[in-house]
Each structure stands twice: as structure tokens, then as C-alpha cells.
Amino acid sequence: MTIVGLLNPGAMGASIGAAALTNVEDVLWTSEGRSDATRIRAEKAGLTNAGSFADLVDASELILSVCPPASALALANEVFSLGFKGTYVDCNAIAPEQTRAIAEIASNKGARLVDGGIIGGPAWQAAAGTKLWLSGPDISEVTALFEHSSLHTGVAGSEIGAASALKMCFAAFTKGSTALLAAVLAVADKEGVGDALAEQWGEAFTSKTKQQVTTNSSKAWRFAGEMEQIAATFDSAGLPGGFHEAAADVFYRLSEFKDWQSKPAFDDLLQALQSK
């Protein structure tokens, strides 16, 4: 039975680890360098602490990388520098160019990369419909790992980069439009036309929009890195990356709300958006 390592049990990662436990006995994680919040999620998901980072890499035959997008390349480098020769599944929201760069590092070290992109919320229940899109020549081991689990899998294409590109295109609209709406509300407020805009938009759209911005504020710090990856994806495809560079700036302005458990007041969000 394949020994699976998970880096790291975040909000999404913990649910992916729990899903993998449908088909393997243990999923390893490492507490080295991680917070208490990660430890609590790992324990709740039933994962096994491998000890150090090096111990996890040494013991694992397949590693699932589920981390902040801005850290995905550095994390892969750390794993391969320890001599990992198994299957490395990068599940992060990163540009296809970056995924191809990680595939090259893997191949130079005698390992395999599977490209992954997750669409949907944490995969605690199959009914949530969360899907791990996969691409590349070696995906069968990963589809088998999640068979009959709470995480659905799909094939985005045969080439490394396809799953990442799909995730980039999907999030370009969902998260990109949230950033646009946040910026619109901040400008309207600054110009003193917030109430008039709300009247023009109507009650339903206005409250839905404010809720969307508020709900995403605790994750904005992570979305900023993802927007930069989307900007790079657009640039590489010969389209303007500026939309999502601006979206990254909008999300950076909200990064002080990182991991807030309670809802911030909307006026506090507007103030953060208006200050550089």
C-alpha cells in the first residue's frame, strides 16, 4: 500500500488527507515549523505525525502538496533537495509555467510530477462536489488514491500544466471578480456614492456583494499570491496580466484580516482597501 505524505494540513489540505485515508492506512504530516492550528486540523483529520520534514519525505512514496500558492515552488525544491524519488502531486493554484518548472526539477531528480488543481471548498463530504483536476502521464496512481472518497477527480488533459491552467482560468473569474467588486465598493465609498450605488445595484446584489467580500477577507492574504500566479498565466498566454496584478494589490490590502474567525465590520474592510 502506498505511503502518502501531506504538505500541509491547512483548511483544504486536511480534508484532502482525510479523503486519501479512504484507500490507504496512514497519511503522514509533519509538525515541523507548523502552527497549532495545523496540528489541530491534522489530528481532526486522523493524520499521522511523521516527525520531522525530512522523516516525512524519507518515508513517503507519494507526496501531496497543498500549501499557499506563493510557497509551492520553494516547498517542492525542499522536498526534491532531500532526494525524494516518488510521485509528487502539486495540487496548488499555480501558473502552468511554474508547474512545468517543478516537473523539470522532479524529472532531474528521478521523481515524477502529477499536476493537480482543486476546485471547490474543503472536501469533507462527497456531496460538496470538490474536484481535484489532474493532468500528466502518471495520474492513475492519484485517481486510485481518491477512488470512492469525498474528493472527486477529473482529467484536465494529458500534459503537465493543463490542471494548473484550468484552476487559473476558473479562479481568474471567481476570485478576480471578488477583487473587482471590493475595489468598486471602496471607490464608491471614497467618492461618497456608496448609498447611491447600492440603490442603483438594488438590495439583493448589494448585500450579496458585501457578503462575498466579507467572507473572503480572511483568505485574502492567500488569494494575493494566487492572483499573481494568474497574472503570470495571462502574460504567458499573451493576454494582459494587469487585471490580476491589480486584484493581487486589492487582496494584499485585506491581508490584515488573515484567518479572522469573526466577521470584520464592513467599514473596517473599506478602510483597509482605501489605505495603501
Ligand X SMILES: NC(=O)c1ccc[n+]([C@@H]2O[C@H](COP(=O)([O-])OP(=O)(O)OC[C@H]3O[C@@H](n4cnc5c(N)ncnc54)[C@H](OP(=O)(O)O)[C@@H]3O)[C@@H](O)[C@H]2O)c1
Amino acid identity of residue 46, one-letter, is: G
d(C-alpha 95, C-alpha 229), whole Å: 5
Residue 38 interacting with ligand X (CB under 6 A): yes
> Per CB under 6 A, which of residues 123..182 are in contact with ligand X?
none
Using CB positions, name the residue nearest to ligand X. 10
d(C-alpha 270, C-alpha 188), whole Å: 10
Task: Kindly write down the DSSP assignment for every residue of 83-127, as one continuous string.
Answer: T--SEEEE-S---HHHHHHHHHHHHHTT-EEEEEEEESS--SSGG
Least distance from ligand X to the Cβ atom of residue 221, Å: 8
Contact 121, 144 (CB under 8 A): no
Least distance from ligand X to the Cβ atom of residue 192, Å: 35
Least distance from ligand X to the Cβ atom of residue 117, Å: 8
Count of other CB atoms within 10 angstroms of residue 40:
12
Interacting residue with ligand X among 22, 25, 32, 35 (CB under 6 A):
35
d(C-alpha 94, C-alpha 106), whole Å: 16
Interacting residue with ligand X among 4, 50, 67, 134 (CB under 6 A):
67
Piece of the chain touching ligand X by CB under 6 A; list 60-68, 157-165, 176-184, 210-218: 60-68
d(C-alpha 86, C-alpha 111), whole Å: 5
Q: Which is nearer to ligand X, 19 or 270 (CB)?
A: 19
Residue 13 interacting with ligand X (CB under 6 A): yes
d(C-alpha 45, C-alpha 43), whole Å: 5
Residue 212 interacting with ligand X (CB under 6 A): no
Interacting residue with ligand X among 4, 5, 6, 9 (CB under 6 A):
9
Residue 118 interacting with ligand X (CB under 6 A): yes
Residues that bind ligand X (CB under 6 A): 8-13, 34-35, 37-38, 66-69, 71, 75, 92-93, 118, 121-122, 222, 226
